[in-house]
A = this chain, B = another copy of it.
Amino acid sequence: MKRDGMMHLNLFVMGNGHHEAAWRLHESAPDHVTGIDYYKRLAHIAERGKLDSLFLADAYGLPPTIQYKVLMSLEPFTLLSALAMCTERIGLIGTASTTYNEPFHVARKFASLDFISGGRAGWNIVTSTSDVTAANFADERLPAHSERYERAGEFLEVVQRLWDSWEDDALLADQTEGVYADTERIHQLNYKGRFFAVRGPLNLPRPPQGHPLLVQAGASDSGKAFAAGSAEVVYTAQNTMEDGRRFYADLHARAAACGRSSWEMKVLPGFCAVIGDTEAEAVEKENSLHELIQPEFGLSRLSNVFKTDMSVFDLDEPLPFDKLPKQEEINGHRGRHQLFMDMARREGLTVRQLMMRTASSRGHYAMAGTPVQIADEMERWFMNRAADGFNLMPPYLPGSLEEFVDKVVPELQNRGLFRTEYEGFTLRDHYGLKRPPCRNWRHSHEQAVRQQ
């Protein structure tokens, strides 16, 4: 079971923590999530723990459940750029949707963040999944699932070509000759696809990392196909190590079929740990979080996953599978839908129990235990190739991140499973990923000409 290399750890920053009731703990400061000092503190703790990266999710709309749940965070491009200035090494991964953005803007903002941070930018590529978002961009409804993924593919293609539109040595800054940039080495894309027509070039040179790191988390079939072809880091929600192994093997097989080597893609399941010095203390902590849950919110969360009003069902009856839509009928977060269905079926859960089971981490793996128990579980997933590392989802923040960094990280370091110091400087360095070479423009220019 020996594996080369070490595991990778990413901090998933989310409001006052991933447990939906975390903000109600006395130690939480729910009004601080609109201030920069809070995020600065989280970033400092994560960097003290030598974590590979921190990550911001995002959506372009306000959930109707804002009464019960804290805002996710500030806007990712602005927040990550600010955090770049008060951190030295940790990677900075932000979410941007391919459904409600323009490739030129996304390419440029990530390139700019990559320059500002000295090569620490990463892009979590999502297609939006909510009608709340759609309503803020002129559309009546979200585009269909397949159309969103087709657009995502084209979007990524354009963004990558824009990042490559300046060859690495195109900026000359030759003061004597008066040549700032070599226009022979700056290229138009002349891209014309189904969704986008973008001439280019980008108005920034090739970013320090060549391409900022590409991250993805789609769990549907089209999501997995997309990840296998392009993603360098994959977030995933897996509830058992066996499911994790299956997903890992499936995704790596798909990536191999795309001609990619296994080291080119790191799979990071979500991992939510309530940490106690004894197991009893950990369980007590978890229970005190669960006691703060508000059932109205939990139900609306389930209603959103199943696209069905769940309040009409008896909370203490088993989940009514036959009254819920099938996965292929869902235009939204299909992976989450399947995960919740599987969990309820496997564990025989009532509606109320499913609500509680998913309150800590929205269906991601969650456990309560001692630092040793937690490190054991992480080692088991890592050694069995269910994970190349973890997307850490601390149930409350900053408390359970601090406990993780102070108690679990040293345990992992002692076992030789995690770095004791940063070795490289860029986000790609941390994940052991190469800087991609620039596109061969002579070849692709012929393509562009053929397309017209």
* A29 nearest in chain B by CB position: B173
Determine whether A86 belongs to the interface, using a CB cutoff of 8 Å to chain B.
yes
> How many whole Å from A120's CB to the nearest CB in chain B?
12
Query: Which A49-85 residues sit within 8 Å CB-CB of chain B?
Result: 59-62, 64, 66-72, 74-75, 77-79, 81-82, 84-85
A86 to B116, CA, bound (A): 13
Cross-chain contact B66 with A181 (CB below 8 angstroms) = yes
The segment from A107-115, A259-267, A278-286, A358-366 that touches chain B is A107-115
> How many whole Å from A141's CB to the nearest CB in chain B?
12
* A136 nearest in chain B by CB position: B104
Question: Which residues of chain B come closer than 8 Å to A339, judged between CB atoms?
Answer: none
For this complex, into which size category does the number of interface residues on chain A fall? Answer: 35 or more
> How many whole Å from A92's CB to the nearest CB in chain B?
11
Determine whether A9 belongs to the interface, using a CB cutoff of 8 Å to chain B.
no
Question: Which residues of chain B come closer than 8 Å to A113, judged between CB atoms?
Answer: 78
Cross-chain contact B81 with A79 (CB below 8 angstroms) = yes
Known A-B contacts A28-B175, A85-B36, A138-B197; the reply to A109 vs B78 at CB < 8 A is yes
The segment from A143-151, A202-210, A429-437 that touches chain B is A202-210
> How many whole Å from A162's CB to the nearest CB in chain B?
9
Determine whether A242 belongs to the interface, using a CB cutoff of 8 Å to chain B.
no
Question: Which residues of chain B come closer than 8 Å to A136, judged between CB atoms?
Answer: 104, 198-200
- Please, what's the 1-or-0 string for A340-381, where 1 marks a CB less than 8 Å from any CB in chain B? 000000000000000000000000000000000000000000
* A108 nearest in chain B by CB position: B75
Question: Which residues of chain B come closer than 8 Å to A86, judged between CB atoms?
Answer: 85
A34 to B111, CA, bound (A): 10
A105 to B116, CA, bound (A): 21
Question: Which residues of chain B come closer than 8 Å to A100, judged between CB atoms?
Answer: 102
Which of B25, B30, B36, B180 is in CB contact (< 8 Å) with A173?
B30
3 cross-chain pairs, A with B, having the tightest CB-CB distances, nearest first: A75-B112, A135-B199, A81-B81
Q: Apart from A24-B178, A36-B84, A66-B181, what 16 extra A-B contacts exist at CB < 8 Å?
A: A23-B173, A36-B85, A60-B203, A62-B186, A64-B183, A66-B186, A67-B179, A71-B205, A75-B108, A75-B111, A75-B112, A78-B116, A82-B84, A135-B199, A136-B200, A137-B198
**Residues of A bordering B, CB below 8 Å:** 21, 23-26, 28, 30-31, 34-36, 59-62, 64, 66-72, 74-75, 77-79, 81-82, 84-86, 100-102, 104-105, 108-109, 111-113, 115-116, 135-138, 171, 173, 175-176, 178-183, 186, 196-205, 292, 294
